[in-house]
A and B are shown apart, each in its own frame.
Chain A
């Protein structure tokens, strides 16, 4: 048995547990391949799927706070894959640390314990870069993604606001680029790489959402990409949906970054839409 030094609490979130199970499975598989132990946080609940933007109602923070408290009890950094969960949990932690009155009121309503603001909320991309380093990732590559022109799509909430998310510069992000380079792929920068796909307008204004997602796809396509790589299950859904009317051959596939990693690591069963492109290369 190998000893694992790197242990993280893991928060799958509502979407990875239900509709984006391939993101969850590929994430767990590549983490295991890298000797990163992801221990699912016990008794977690949905983070709320939107960071509360109004100051008045501290109740909006109960959902993320319960998970932060559960993670605090486990005593490890809290790892996430979903960009929105990362955003909500990271900013909730930040808000509760900088607003002690709100934290006091909240703690009065949560029976599991008080949140002390000591949980480090992490995204797997940050863990790969900062805890392992790209060289370690490169050493695990069994089948380099040679010739794969991949468009790293950051979207909106993974990076912004920069001071709170502490992951990358939203105007010139590099983390997905550098991961793709480590995997042997050819990252293709594109104009809309950090612009919104439409997010929850999918539900409230589907036509507008369609136009926003189409613009992202067209931007990646015109930069010469063969595939779009994302860290967000809602981006993935929106970008796929925007292309539903196109003939299959004209669609730009959208993969999770963990699927690109799985393809390069030789974990073909988790490589999703990267597989056929890898076979063709």
Chain B
């Protein structure tokens, strides 16, 4: 992937917004890749978890177009294994929040399969909609 770096963006509003919502210092990540190595959902993602935080560090707003934050199940495997103490699920949440605020809802109650809604545990429906619907 070819990217253009903008020195201004490294400390720009997008980085600040992610850091404010996630309460994480993105530059703590040194790209060891342990998050991606342990992630059980990695095969469903278009960008690896470590690539998400790398793009975010660089202030590249393309992260909000990725499917990865929406495939993250917030299972905390990466969080519990990160040698730098980065809480990556919170960074994923920040990306989702920014996408949602820009009008990009990925989970809509009206679009969920009706038979699934009728049988699924309440916790799954509530949890999914709280995460993904504006």
Chain A residues at the B interface, C-beta cutoff of 8 Å = 13-15, 18-20, 46, 48-51, 53-56, 60, 82, 84-85, 156-157, 160-162, 170-171, 192, 195-196, 198-206, 208, 211-212, 215, 233-234, 237
Please tell me if the beta carbons of B44 and A211 are within 8 angstroms of each other in the complex. yes
Q: Is the interface of B mostly helix, strand, loop or mixed?
A: helix
Q: Select which of A161, A192, A196, A202 is within 8 A of B41 by beta carbon.
A: A196
Contact A203:B73 (CB < 8 A) given known A54-B21, A208-B41, A211-B44: no
Most A-side CB within 10 Å, residue of B74, B93, B127: B127
Of B1-9, B47-55, B58-66, B115-123, the one with at least 4 CB within 8 A of chain A: B115-123
Contact A49:B44 (CB < 8 A) given known A160-B77, A196-B75, A199-B73: no
Provide the residues of chain A in CB contact with B117, threshold 8 Å. Answer: 203
Cα A60 to Cα B126 in complex, Å, equals 13
Please tell me if the beta carbons of B20 and A55 are within 8 angstroms of each other in the complex. yes
Enumerate 22 A-B pairs (CB-CB under 8 Å) in ascending A order: A19-B121, A46-B126, A53-B74, A53-B89, A53-B90, A54-B21, A55-B22, A157-B75, A161-B76, A195-B77, A196-B77, A199-B127, A201-B41, A202-B124, A203-B107, A203-B127, A203-B128, A204-B106, A204-B131, A208-B71, A212-B73, A233-B123
Q: Select which of A49, A170, A202 is within 8 A of B80 by beta carbon.
A: A170
| Closest A residue, CB atoms, query B38 | A195
User: Which of under 10, 10 to 19, 20 to 34, or 35 or more describes the interface residues of B?
Assistant: 35 or more
Cα A90 to Cα B22 in complex, Å, equals 19
Q: Say yes or no: is B23 at the interface (Cβ < 8 Å to chain A).
A: yes
In the complex, how many angstroms separate the beta carbon of A67 from the nearest chain B beta carbon? Answer: 14
Contact A202:B122 (CB < 8 A) given known A50-B74, A161-B76: no
Cα A53 to Cα B132 in complex, Å, equals 13
In the complex, how many angstroms separate the beta carbon of A23 from the nearest chain B beta carbon? Answer: 10
Cα A192 to Cα B112 in complex, Å, equals 28
Provide the residues of chain A in CB contact with B23, threshold 8 Å. Answer: 55
In the complex, how many angstroms separate the beta carbon of B56 from the nearest chain A beta carbon? Answer: 15
Most A-side CB within 10 Å, residue of B44, B79, B129: B44
Provide the residues of chain A in CB contact with B43, threshold 8 Å. Answer: 211
Please tell me if the beta carbons of A205 and B77 are within 8 angstroms of each other in the complex. no
Provide the residues of chain B in CB contact with A215, threshold 8 Å. Answer: 40
Provide the residues of chain A in CB contact with B76, threshold 8 Å. Answer: 156-157, 160-161
Contact A49:B127 (CB < 8 A) given known A19-B121, A160-B80, A211-B44: yes
| Closest B residue, CB atoms, query A169 | B80
Provide the residues of chain B in CB contact with A204, threshold 8 Å. Answer: 70, 106-107, 128, 131-132
Chain B 1-42 interface residues, beta-carbon cutoff 8 Å to A: 20-23, 40-41
In the complex, how many angstroms separate the beta carbon of A248 from the nearest chain B beta carbon? Answer: 18
Please tell me if the beta carbons of A50 and B22 are within 8 angstroms of each other in the complex. no
In the complex, how many angstroms separate the beta carbon of B37 from the nearest chain A beta carbon? Answer: 13
In the complex, how many angstroms separate the beta carbon of A24 from the nearest chain B beta carbon? Answer: 12
Q: Say yes or no: is B130 at the interface (Cβ < 8 Å to chain A).
A: yes
Please tell me if the beta carbons of A54 and B97 are within 8 angstroms of each other in the complex. yes
Cα A204 to Cα B113 in complex, Å, equals 10
| Closest B residue, CB atoms, query A56 | B21
Chain B 70-113 interface residues, beta-carbon cutoff 8 Å to A: 70-71, 73-77, 79-80, 89-90, 92-94, 97, 106-107, 112-113
10 new A-B pairs (CB below 8 Å) besides A54-B90, A203-B127, A204-B106? A13-B123, A50-B126, A54-B93, A56-B97, A196-B73, A200-B131, A202-B120, A203-B116, A206-B113, A237-B124
